[in-house]
Amino acid sequence: MEKEFLQQFDALVEKYSELLVGNSQEAVKEKVKIYSLYSHIAKSMPALAKHWNGLYPDAKNEIIEIMNEVKSLNEQHRKSKLK
């Protein structure tokens, strides 16, 4: 892939993270990427997600933590916008 494309795509992820959780720091962006990709996989190929969860139970627990954190950050962000 071209470097320019990767930079442009990173800008998209950064803006998505900012809009979703109100934060685009690198660590938060990585969690938003994982959250987004896993959500898509779980919806489009639930059998694959279930198989992966069975193979890697520790990673499944990490995914659950990331999902909960991103959801919590999103909730906080939405509440702060209402004030």
User: Average pLDDT in the 56-83 region?
Assistant: 95
Q: Is residue 55 part of a domain?
A: yes
Question: What's the whole-model pTM score?
Answer: 0.89
CA–CA dist 23, 58 (Å, integer): 27
pLDDT for position 47: 98
User: Average pLDDT in the 38-60 region?
Assistant: 97
Q: Is residue 22 part of a domain?
A: no
Q: Is residue 62 part of a domain?
A: yes
Residue ranges of the alpha helices (H) in 22-56?
Answer: 26-44, 46-55
Q: Is residue 32 part of a domain?
A: no
Q: Is residue 82 part of a domain?
A: yes
Q: Is residue 61 part of a domain?
A: yes
pLDDT of residue 83 exceeding 80: no
Q: Which domain holds residue 61?
A: 45-83
- Number of structural domains (the chain) is 1
Query: How does the average pLDDT of the chain come out, rounded?
Result: 96
Q: What is the pLDDT of residues 10-47, one digit of tens each?
A: 999 999 999 999 999 999 999 999 999 999 999 999 99
Q: Is residue 13 part of a domain?
A: no
User: Average pLDDT in the 59-75 region?
Assistant: 97
At residue 73, φ and ψ (nearest 5 deg) are -60, -40
Name, in order, each residue with C-beta under 8 angstroms of 33's C-beta and a sequence gap of 6 or more.
13
Q: Is residue 25 part of a domain?
A: no
